[in-house]
Chains A and B, each alone.
Chain A
Amino acid sequence: MSLAQEQAFEPLIVAFCCNWCSYAGGDLAGTSRMTYPANVRVIRVPCSSRVSPNLILRAFQRGADGVLVAGCHPGDCHYVTGNYYARRRFSAMRRFLEYLGIEQERFEVHWISASEGSKFAAVMGEVTEKIRALGPNRKLRDAR
Chain B
Amino acid sequence: MKQLAEIMKDIAAQSLSRGEVDLVIGWQKGPLWWQSYPAFIEGNEGNGETGSLTWDSFCVPNLSRYLLEELPERKKVALFVKGCDALGFNQILQDKRAEREKVVLYGIPCTGLVDPDKVESAGLGRGLLEVKRDGDELVFVYDSGEQKAQARDFLYDKCLTCRYPNPVVYDQMLGEAAPVQPEERFESVQELEKMDADERFAYWARQFSRCIRCFACRNACPACSCRECIFDIPEPRWLGKANELSETQFYQIIRAYHVAGRCVDCGECTRVCPVNIPLQELNRKFIKDINELYGEYDAGVDPEQEAPLVTYKTDDPAAFTES
Report if B16 contacts A (CB, 8 A): no
Q: Known contacts A57-B249, A92-B260, A101-B202; is A85 also within 8 Å of B312 by CB?
A: yes
A95–B317 alpha-carbon span in the complex (Å): 13
Report if A88 contacts B (CB, 8 A): yes
Chain B residues numbered 298-316 whose CB sits less than 8 Å from any CB in chain A: 308-310, 312-314, 316
Residue of A nearest to B246 (CB): A142
Interface size band for B: 35 or more
A110 — which chain B residues lie within 8 A by C-beta? Answer: 320, 323
Q: Known contacts A87-B318, A109-B318; is A100 also within 8 Å of B253 by CB?
A: yes
A90–B246 alpha-carbon span in the complex (Å): 20
Question: Is B253 touching A142 in the complex (CB atoms < 8 A)?
Answer: no
A5–B313 alpha-carbon span in the complex (Å): 47
B212 — which chain A residues lie within 8 A by C-beta? Answer: none
A29–B290 alpha-carbon span in the complex (Å): 36
A87 — which chain B residues lie within 8 A by C-beta? Answer: 312, 316, 318
Question: Is A142 touching B247 in the complex (CB atoms < 8 A)?
Answer: yes
Q: Name the distance in Å between A60's Cβ and chain B's nearest Cβ.
A: 8
Report if B242 contacts A (CB, 8 A): yes
B289 — which chain A residues lie within 8 A by C-beta? Answer: 91-92, 95-96
Question: Is B320 touching A88 in the complex (CB atoms < 8 A)?
Answer: no
A89–B203 alpha-carbon span in the complex (Å): 25
Question: Is A94 touching B319 in the complex (CB atoms < 8 A)?
Answer: yes
A85–B250 alpha-carbon span in the complex (Å): 22
A135 — which chain B residues lie within 8 A by C-beta? Answer: none
Interface centre among B204, B238, B250 (most CB of A within 10 A): B250
Report if B210 contacts A (CB, 8 A): no
Question: Is B245 touching A143 in the complex (CB atoms < 8 A)?
Answer: yes
A37–B204 alpha-carbon span in the complex (Å): 33
Question: Is B316 touching A103 in the complex (CB atoms < 8 A)?
Answer: no
Question: Is A111 touching B322 in the complex (CB atoms < 8 A)?
Answer: yes
B285 — which chain A residues lie within 8 A by C-beta? Answer: 95-96, 99
22 contacts between A and B (CB under 8 A): A61-B246, A74-B314, A85-B312, A88-B309, A89-B309, A90-B320, A91-B289, A93-B257, A94-B320, A96-B289, A97-B253, A98-B197, A101-B198, A101-B199, A101-B200, A101-B203, A103-B197, A108-B320, A110-B323, A111-B323, A139-B205, A142-B246
Binding site for B on A (CB under 8 A): 53-54, 57-58, 60-61, 74-75, 81, 84-85, 87-103, 108-111, 139-144
